[in-house]
Structure 1
Amino acid sequence: MQTTLGEQLLLLSLDDKSGVAREPANVAAAIAGAPLVELAIAGRIAVDGDIVSVTDSTPVGLPSLDDALSAIADYKKPGKTADWIEYLKKDAVAAASKGLVDKGLVREETKKVLGLFPVHRYPEADSSVEVAVLERLEAAVLHGEEPQEQTVGLIALLHGAGLAKLAFPAADKPLVEARMAVIAQGQWASPAVRQVIQAAQQALTAIVTTTVITSAIVGN
C-alpha cells in the first residue's frame, strides 16, 4: 500500500489505541515539510539557495503532493523552504488524516469536549504499514543498512523536527540522533534531492526551535 511521507509521520505520532497524536506541533511542521521532500524525489522541485522552484509541473498523482506542487508553481514569486512549510502546514495534518482513514489504516472518532468542541481521534485499524515503516527506519538507523531515498527523507524530517523518539522510544537517544544526522546528510540521495532534504531539515529545526522558545515565553 502506497502512503506518503506525511501519512507515515502521522502514523508514527498516533497512539495506537487512543488515536491521540503525540508532539502535535512538531509533527504538523514535519508533515508540512514532507511534500517538498517527496516532490524533490519525484523530480518536480529543486532548491537553490533555499529558494524552492518547480522543475517539472507534471502532476504526481497523489492529492497532497499535487496540491503542493500546484501552489508552488502558481505562486507569483519564489519562496523559501520555511515559507512553504508554514504555508502547507494549514492543511497538512487534515490531508494526512484523511489519507490514512481512506486507506483503512486508522478510523476516525469524534468526541465533544465540554459537550461543545469536536475533537478528532484516530485509533489504529491496520498496523501493517506502520510496522513496515518502523522496520525500514530500524534497518537504516539501528542496523546500518543502506536506505532508499524516501527513507532518507523520512529520517531527515523526523530528525529536523526533533521527533526521533516517535520511531525509537527505547533506543539510546544520542546514538540514534547521531546516526539520523549522518543519514540525512549522507550520499544515499541524489544531489538535487539531498539539497531539498537538507533545506527542509534546517527549516524544520528553526521552526521547531522558535515554537519551543515562544511557548516558554508565553508560559512564563
Structure 2
Amino acid sequence: MQVTLAEELVLLSLDDRTGAPKEGVGTAWAAAGGLLAELVLAGRVEVADGRLGVVDRTPTGDPLLDGRLERLDEWIAGKRPGRAKAGDWLTKDRATVVRDTELRLCERGLVTEERHRVLGIFPVRHYPEADGSVERALRERLTAVVLDGDEPELRTAALIALLHSAKLHRLAFPDLPRKQVQPRFAEIAAGDWAGESVGEAIRNMQATMAAVIAATTAATTVAATVS
C-alpha cells in the first residue's frame, strides 16, 4: 500500500495501542511539509525562492493530495503575484493537516477512530492501530537506512529529512538515544537525494517552524516577566 509522507509521519506519531498522539506540534509541521513535498514530487507544485506555484492541476488520484492541491491552488489565486510564500502556506496548513491525515488513515483501514470526553466535557479523538503492516514495513525501512547504513531511496530520504527537521527522531526510534541516530539523520537530510524544489519545501518547513517557535518562546518569556 502506497501512503503519503504525511500519513507515514502521523502513523509514527500515534501510540499503537491507545491511539494517543505523540509530539503533536512537530508532527503537524512535518506533515504539512510532507504534503507539500509530495505535491512537488508529483510534479504538481514548484517551490522557488520560498514561493509556491501550481504547475499542473491534474489530480494525482490520492484524495489527501488532491484535496491539498485544490486548497493550495485557491490560496495562491487569492494572493498577489509573488506573495504566495511557502512558509505562510505551511503555517496555515499545519492547523488541519494532522486531522485530515488521520481521517485518511481511517479510510484506508490502518487506524480506527475512538471518541472520548475528558472530564466528561471536552471531546477527544484517538486513533489506535487497526492494521500495523504499513507501519512495520516503514520502521523496517528506517532501520535499514539509519542503523544498517543502506542507501535510502527518494521517499525514505525525504521522510528522514522531515523527521530530522522537526526533531522527531524519537518517533522513528523511541528506544534509542537521540544522539545515536541524529548524525545519520543529519547526513541523509543534507544529502543530494532530491531536486532543489523538494529540498526547498522541506527547508521552508524547518525555517518557518523555527521562526514560529522562537516567536512563541519570546512572547511567553515577555508575559512571564510582566506578570
TM-score normalised to structure 1 length: 0.89
Q: Distance in 2 between matches of 1:119 and 1:101?
A: 16
Question: In the alignment, is the contact (CA less than 8 A) between 2:29 and 2:166 conserved in 1?
Answer: yes
1:130 to 109, 132, 135: 135
Instruction: State the Cα distance separating 1:194 from its structure 2 match.
Output: 2.5
Secondary structure of the 2:208 match is: helix
Structure possessing the higher radius of gyration over alpha carbons: 2
Secondary structure of the 2:64 match is: helix
Secondary structure of the 2:95 match is: helix
Question: In the alignment, is the contact (CA less than 8 A) between 2:33 and 2:202 conserved in 1?
Answer: no
Asked if 1:192 is matched to 2:200, the reply is no
Question: In the alignment, is the contact (CA less than 8 A) between 1:108 and 1:122 conserved in 2?
Answer: yes
Question: In the alignment, is the contact (CA less than 8 A) between 1:36 and 1:200 conserved in 2?
Answer: no
Instruction: State the Cα distance separating 1:72 from its structure 2 match.
Output: 2.4
Instruction: State the Cα distance separating 1:219 from its structure 2 match.
Output: 7.4
Q: After the TM superposition, which residues 108-123 of structure 1 pair with which residues of structure 2 at under 5 Å, given as runs?
A: 108-123=113-128
The RMSD of aligned alpha carbons is 2.1
Query: Do the aligned partners of residues 140 and 91 (structure 1) sit closer, same or farther apart at CA in structure 2, a change above 3 Å counting?
Result: same
Secondary structure of the 1:171 match is: coil
> Could you list the per-position Cα deviations for residues 101-131 of structure 1 after superposition, in whole angstroms to 9, with x for gaps in the alignment?
1111111111111222211111111111111
Secondary structure of the 1:10 match is: helix
Secondary structure of the 1:53 match is: strand
Q: Distance in 1 between matches of 2:102 and 2:174?
A: 23
Q: What residue number does 2:37 align with? A: 37
Question: In the alignment, is the contact (CA less than 8 A) between 1:139 and 1:145 conserved in 2?
Answer: yes
Instruction: State the Cα distance separating 1:193 from its structure 2 match.
Output: 2.4
Q: Distance in 2 between matches of 1:81 and 1:153?
A: 17
Q: 5+ residue gaps in structure 1?
A: none
Q: 5+ residue gaps in structure 2?
A: none
Instruction: State the Cα distance separating 1:49 from its structure 2 match.
Output: 1.1
TM-score normalised to structure 2 length: 0.87
Asked if 1:58 is matched to 2:58, the reply is yes
Asked if 1:20 is matched to 2:20, the reply is yes
Q: What residue number does 1:142 align with? A: 147
Query: Do the aligned partners of residues 183 and 219 (structure 1) sit closer, same or farther apart at CA in structure 2, a change above 3 Å counting?
Result: farther
Secondary structure of the 2:161 match is: helix
Q: After the TM superposition, which residues 175-214 of structure 1 pair with which residues of structure 2 at under 5 Å, given as runs?
A: 175-211=180-216
> Could you list the per-position Cα deviations for residues 19-78 of structure 1 after superposition, in whole angstroms to 9, with x for gaps in the alignment?
110111211221122111101111111211111112222221222212222222222224
Query: Do the aligned partners of residues 210 and 48 (structure 1) sit closer, same or farther apart at CA in structure 2, a change above 3 Å counting?
Result: same
Paired residue total: 220
% of aligned pairs identical? 43
> Could you list the per-position Cα deviations for residues 141-190 of structure 1 after superposition, in whole angstroms to 9, with x for gaps in the alignment?
22222212211221121111111111012334224222212212211212
Query: Do the aligned partners of residues 216 and 10 (structure 1) sit closer, same or farther apart at CA in structure 2, a change above 3 Å counting?
Result: farther
Instruction: State the Cα distance separating 1:215 from its structure 2 match.
Output: 5.9
